[in-house]
Structures are given as structure tokens and as C-alpha cells.
Structure 1
Amino acid sequence: MDILGWVLVILLFAVGMAGAIYLILPGALAIYGAFFVYGLFFSFSEFGIWFWLIQTLIVIVLFIADYAVSAWGVKRFGGSRASIIGSMIGLIIGPFVIPAFGLIIGPFAGAVIGEMIAGTNLERSLKVGLGSVVGLFTSVVVKFILQAIMIVLFILWLVL
């Protein structure tokens, strides 16, 4: 049973880290779930209130940062509310419509279309679309770092 427990924990960590890039995967929630799997298979005794508070805070920051950083990229490049909404819609729909490149093209196209609907010219709309891609990549980096911190804290909590 120990081997199964560790396999599930590692699998959830892998899914979580992949979720930083492939937004359809449950990222931080998979990592958070790995802590519960560990507790069920082994013991929750290693985890005190501080472990759960810190990990929960990181998950909350991840959810807020995910949307805030993406929106920041659009805003930083002069985007309007319409382009932020378009970018978010493109981020959700893009990977399904264009599996290989939809993660990048979706937010870009969504921001450009949203900005054009708002009445902005094509040149500025394309600039805002670029901002959505910059925001997306920044968001991926932030998520990857924070999720890695969650895993490192888990390991440190077990070892120390």
C-alpha cells in the first residue's frame, strides 16, 4: 500500500505541475490533493496547522494570480475590459479548437477580437493581443514557481 500511496502522490504532483502549462489540468488542486492522499495512506500527523495555512494561502494566491497576471498583461499593453474578457474566453476555448497551439492563439485572438469589438484599430488590438500572450507566459511562470514551492514545502515538512 505504501508504494501505491507514493505513486498516487507523485502522479498528482506531476499532474499539478503539468497544470501550470496545460490549463485544462487542475494544477494547484492536484498538488493540494496529493497532501490528502499522503495523509490517507500514511498519516496526517506530520502536517500541523501551519502546513495547511501556508499551503492554502499559496493555493489562494495561485488562483488570484492566475487571473490577475493574465489581465495585467492585457492592461499593460493598453487593453480594455473587452479584451480581458476576450482573452479569458480564448484561454478556455483555444486549446479545444486548436489543440497544439490553442493555448497561445486562443488568448491572443480573444484579446484582439475583444479589443476590436470595443472599437480599437487593428494595430492597437494586435498589441493588446501580444500583451495577453505576455500575461499568459508570466502567469505560467508564476504558477510553476508557486506550485514547485508547494511541493518543496511538503517534502521539507516530511523530512524536518
Structure 2
Amino acid sequence: MEMIGWVIIILFFAIGFVGLVYPIIPAVLFIFGGFLMYGLLFSFGDLPWWFWAIQSLFVVLLFGADLLANAFGVKKFGGSKAGLWGSTIGLLVGPFVIPIVGILIGPFIGAVLAELTFNRSSFKQSVRSGVGSVVGFITSVVTKGTIQAIMVLLFFVLV
């Protein structure tokens, strides 16, 4: 039974890391869910109060980082709110329309189309906004992946 418990916990962690590139999956919630599963299946006593406090702060940080990285990328490259919304929609739709590469192409196309449609921006400026959305997404994935790895590492150190 213990083996099944660990498989479930590791499955939660794995889904959390898959969620880095499939934004429809709430990645950090699966990581946190793995901790909760450990507590439910084994013991909450193994994880001190400060572990939960730190992990809760990481959850809040990750939700904020996700929003800020994309916004920063689009704004840094001269995009507008329309570009940001287009990028976000492209990020959610892209992986389903174009599997694998859609995760990068979706935000790019979304930002470019939104800039062209709603702001009547030049094609060059629209493409810059699209590049910014991709840069923001990649920055977000690297940042979130690092923080999630720290979360899981801290868990295994304590367990």
C-alpha cells in the first residue's frame, strides 16, 4: 500500500511539471496536492508548520509570476493590453490546435493578431509584441520550473 501512495504522490509532482508547458493544468496546485496526498496517506506530522508556510508562499509567488512574466514580456517588447490578451488566449488554445509547438506559436500568433486587429499596429510592431510574449512565456516556464523543483526538493529533504 505504501508503494501505491508514493506512486500517487510522484504522479501529482509529474503532472505539476507537465503543467509548466500546458498552462491549462494548474501546475503548482498539483505540486501542493502531492504534499497534501503525502499528509493524507502517510502523516502530516513529518512536515513542520514552516514547511506549509513556505510552500503556501511559493504557491502565491508562482501564480503571480505566471501573470507578471507574460505581461512583462509583451510590454518590454512594446505590446499593449490587446497583445497581452491575445498572447494569453494563444497560450491556452495553441497547444490544442498545434500539438507540441503550439505552446510557443499560439502566444506569438495571438499577440500578433490582437495587435494588428485592435491597435492597428504596424506588422513589425505586432511581431515584436509576439516575440515578447514568447520570451515572457519561456521566462515564466524557467522561473516556475526552478521554484517547483525547490518545492519538491524541500519536501524530499524533510521526508
> Could you say which TM-score interval applies, normalised by the shorter chain?
over 0.9
Q: How many residues get paired?
A: 158
Q: Which runs of 5+ in 2 are unaligned?
A: none
- Matched to 1:122, the amino acid is F
Distance of 2:9 and 2:73 partners within structure 1: 34
The secondary structure found in structure 2 opposite 1:21 is coil
**Structure 1 residues 15-30: aligned runs within 5 Å:** 15-30=15-30
Distance of 1:113 and 1:71 partners within structure 2: 16
Q: Give 2:153's aligned residue.
A: 152
Distance of 1:80 and 1:22 partners within structure 2: 24
- Matched to 1:50, the amino acid is W
TM-score (norm 2): 0.95
Distance of 2:28 and 2:56 partners within structure 1: 10
Q: Give 2:37's aligned residue.
A: 37
Q: Give 1:121's aligned residue.
A: 122
Q: Give 2:67's aligned residue.
A: 67
| 1:63-108, Cα deviation, whole Å (9 max, x unpaired) | 1101110110000000111100110111111112112321111100
Distance of 1:124 and 1:60 partners within structure 2: 33
Q: Check the 8 A contact 1:15/1:26 in 2, yes or no.
A: no
Give every structure 1 segment of 4 or more consecutive aligned residues whose post-TM-superposition deviation is greater than 4 Å.
none
Matched, 1:52 2:52: yes
Distance of 2:45 and 2:142 partners within structure 1: 32
Distance of 2:100 and 2:19 partners within structure 1: 15
Q: Which runs of 5+ in 1 are unaligned?
A: none
Distance of 2:81 and 2:24 partners within structure 1: 24
**Structure 1 residues 83-94: aligned runs within 5 Å:** 83-94=83-94
